[in-house]
Amino acid sequence: MQTLLELDKLYKTFGHVKAVNGISLSVPAGQVLGFLGPNGAGKSTTMKMVAGFLEPDAGTARICGTDILKDPKKAKASLGYLPEGAPAWGEMTVLGFLKFCASVRGLPDAESAIGKAVERTALQLVLGQSIETLSKGFKRRAGLAQAILHEPDVLVLDEPTDGLDPNQKHQVRQLISDLAKDRAIIISTHILEEVDAVCDRAVIIDKGGVVADGTADELRALLPGRDDATLEEVFHHITTTDAQEDLS
């Protein structure tokens, strides 16, 4: 499988805090990677560097082979990014927001692209509504719609299901699974059930570094002496200091 997203020894320090400490991984086409970790582990910082918002202190990310630092515009053209909290311009209508994103991206057939994204994210009923009046769920779906508008090969979604009700979560996971067929997708999440529901592979990071990488079953096997371990138990075990020392 062709590698569409590659993180190459990413480092980022804020003051004295090493937020990201040499993360390397690659995601091939057709794979959904769950990016897990406790609060402050460096998930969002990593995603911001992949998306070209933050400049790493060292290392780089390549999107479809294009270095995000060397040719950011080309790399961003192949990337769909949903930032944490799905920020959007509140005074704009959903349709105006999507038209703006299509226009900045220079999409040749913006109307058809918007129609497709709206249908996939089920935004038809709120198209004329201003974003500041939307519920959290609709706001997140508007953010998702802009991320998939240009049919990117790589999707980076920071907590895409946060704040959604169970039905909306199901819809978004279904959408991610549908999109994954020929794309590389990274989703960061706190919700461990998401790994079983939608991810082919999960990476757990802690204190800025990768502490586990594998399928859900491979992660469960990391808990010694337990055949029936849940992902929550594994997560707790490998993101505590003592456990990390055991693993090393």
- Cα 111 from chain centroid? 26
- We find the least distance from the C-beta atom of residue 69 to other proteins, in angstroms, to be 12
Helix, strand, coil tally for the chain in percent (to 5):
40, 25, 35
Site string for other proteins, 32-61 (x = CB under 8 A): ----------------x--xxxx-------
Site string for other proteins, 143-162 (x = CB under 8 A): x--x----------------
Residue pair 105/149 in contact (Cβ under 8 Å)? The answer is yes
- We find the least distance from the C-beta atom of residue 150 to other proteins, in angstroms, to be 9
Count of residues that interact with other proteins, criterion CB under 8 A: 29
CB-nearer residue toward other proteins: 54 or 148:
54
- We find the least distance from the C-beta atom of residue 7 to other proteins, in angstroms, to be 16
- We find the least distance from the C-beta atom of residue 215 to other proteins, in angstroms, to be 29
CB-nearer residue toward other proteins: 32 or 54:
54
- The yes or no reply on residue 137 touching other proteins (CB under 8 A) is no
- The yes or no reply on residue 127 touching other proteins (CB under 8 A) is no
CA distances from 124 to 18, 61, 95, 96, 127 (A): 43, 35, 9, 13, 6
- We find the least distance from the C-beta atom of residue 122 to other proteins, in angstroms, to be 21
Residue pair 35/208 in contact (Cβ under 8 Å)? The answer is no
Token pair 């897990």 in the structure block, residue: 36
CB-nearer residue toward other proteins: 159 or 223:
159
- Cα 83 from chain centroid? 8
CA distances from 199 to 35, 53, 136, 187, 193 (A): 9, 25, 23, 8, 10
- We find the least distance from the C-beta atom of residue 1 to other proteins, in angstroms, to be 26
Token pair 């907590």 in the structure block, residue: 159
Q: What is the DSSP code (8-state) at residue 93?
A: B
Which residues bind to other proteins, rule: CB under 8 A?
A: 48, 51-54, 72-74, 76-77, 79, 81, 83, 85, 87-92, 96, 100-101, 103-106, 143, 146
